[in-house]
């Protein structure tokens, strides 16, 4: 078993995956700003090409906003069966090098290549070879980050995007993290970054000057995490079989809904979809969460945990309806979703940490 500071971890992230697949399959779209997703006034952008991103178009953005930012934006209907097909091809390439592959989604994964099937000593060369083969097989590009743990590898994969890679060797980790903009730290979102700015924390170096006590007092349990990651301390092995923690479905409506009768009809459809997914995944859960997005885009969630595992649509539906009726809606609704969590696959996982040691060759 290798010491954690001796691990060689690669994070591979496809470049604008959905949009790149569409541009590859339809050459007329190459070099043009495109958005995958609904182009209607009620639609939401699922992915944007790099040409569209230059205008500020981003995933999860309302289509009307995206169109306003980029008047020449081309909307393309999503084809998730096609994206899954390409994703399978990519994962087959990963498994040519190692069985320690932890997919995060269709377009990104962690690989532990400390011991690999080709006995390559260099993780940097392996990452390059993987990216080259992905392009040969699929015609789309990928970026990669390479380091001793998943946290640093993920940050590094974004460093030279698109179609690039970056290796952060142990002796460079501290300097790399110190000069990093705090917004680049994976897990620090917009709200947390704004709070850190108020404390004069703008870079990794600034964060490192804060004591564990200060960070814990101001950021709760996350404070310990921030204290450790800025020092390159992060133990989380690549898990070849990632544990599913939740399962859900949601629907955005073509028109806002204010009638509870119509809402219940939509919840029936969503519960049926979840039951299908449960059957495929062979799981059950105890916690039902109802997601409501109102016409002003504000989102509310309501949850209930049952004393037993459930997997049938009727119980899921009954619980969701009960949550809906807890409090009347003051605004009309544009989206409803149901998530089943607290699954029977879940395991208690503790995050352990180790100090990074220097001197390991990459």
Task: Compute the chain's Rg from CA coordinates.
Answer: 22
Cβ–Cβ under 8 Å, residues 109 and 115 = no
Give the largest Cα separation in the chain, rounded. 65
Distance set, CA 307 to CA 136, 246, 340, 345 (Å): 51, 17, 14, 16
Cα 90 to Cα 106: distance, rounded to the nearest angstrom: 9
DSSP assignment of 57-102 equals --TT-BHHHHHHH-TT-EEE---HHHHHHHHHHHHHHHHHH-S-EE
Nearest in space to 107 (alpha carbons), one of 82, 124, 129: 82
Q: What is the DSSP letter of 6?
A: G
Distance set, CA 185 to CA 152, 159, 191, 208 (Å): 9, 12, 13, 13
Residue 135: beta bridge partners? none
- Which residue in 3, 108, 322, 350 is the catalytic one? 108
For CA atoms 144, 147, 149, 152, the dihedral sign is negative
Is residue 108 among the annotated active site residues? Answer: yes
Distance set, CA 251 to CA 16, 247, 268 (Å): 24, 14, 11
**Of how many residues is the chain composed?**
362
Cα 267 to Cα 190: distance, rounded to the nearest angstrom: 32
Active site residues: 108
């Amino acid at each position: 078993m290798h010491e954690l500071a001796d691990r060689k971890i690669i994070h591979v992230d496809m470049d604008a995956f959905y949009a790149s697949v569409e541009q590859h399959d339809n050459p007329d779209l190459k070099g043009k700003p495109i958005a995958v997703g609904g182009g209607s006034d009620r639609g939401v952008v699922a992915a944007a090409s790099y040409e569209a991103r230059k205008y500020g178009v981003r995933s999860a953005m309302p289509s009307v906003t995206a169109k306003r930012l980029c008047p020449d934006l081309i909307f393309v209907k999503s084809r998730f069966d096609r994206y899954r097909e390409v994703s399978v091809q990519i994962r087959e390439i990963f498994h040519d090098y190692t069985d320690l592959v932890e997919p995060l989604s269709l377009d990104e994964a962690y690989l532990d290549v400390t011991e690999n099937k080709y006995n390559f000593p260099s993780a940097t060369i392996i990452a390059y070879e993987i990216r080259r083969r992905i392009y040969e097989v699929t015609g789309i590009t990928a970026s990669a980050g390479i380091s001793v743990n998943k946290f640093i590898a993920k940050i590094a994969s974004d460093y030279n995007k698109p179609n690039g890679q970056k290796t952060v060797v142990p002796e460079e980790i501290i300097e790399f993290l110190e000069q990093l903009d705090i917004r680049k730290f994976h897990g620090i979102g917009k709200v947390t970054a704004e709070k850190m700015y108020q404390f004069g924390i703008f870079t990794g170096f600034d964060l490192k000057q804060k004591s564990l006590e200060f960070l814990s007092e101001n950021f709760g349990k996350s404070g310990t995490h921030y204290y450790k990651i800025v020092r390159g301390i992060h133990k989380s092995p690549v898990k070849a079989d990632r544990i599913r923690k939740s399962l859900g479905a949601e629907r955005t409506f073509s028109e806002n809904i204010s009638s509870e009768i119509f809402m219940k009809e939509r919840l029936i459809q969503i519960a049926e979809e979840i039951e299908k997914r449960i059957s495929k995944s062979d799981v059950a859960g105890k916690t039902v969460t109802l997601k409501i997005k109102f016409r002003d885009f504000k989102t509310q969630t309501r949850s209930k945990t049952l004393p037993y595992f459930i997997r049938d649509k009727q119980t899921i539906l009954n619980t969701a309806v009960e949550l809906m009726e807890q409090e009347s809606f003051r605004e009309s609704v544009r989206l409803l979703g149901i998530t089943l969590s607290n699954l029977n696959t879940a395991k208690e996982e503790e995050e352990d940490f180790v100090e990074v040691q220097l001197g390991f060759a990459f």
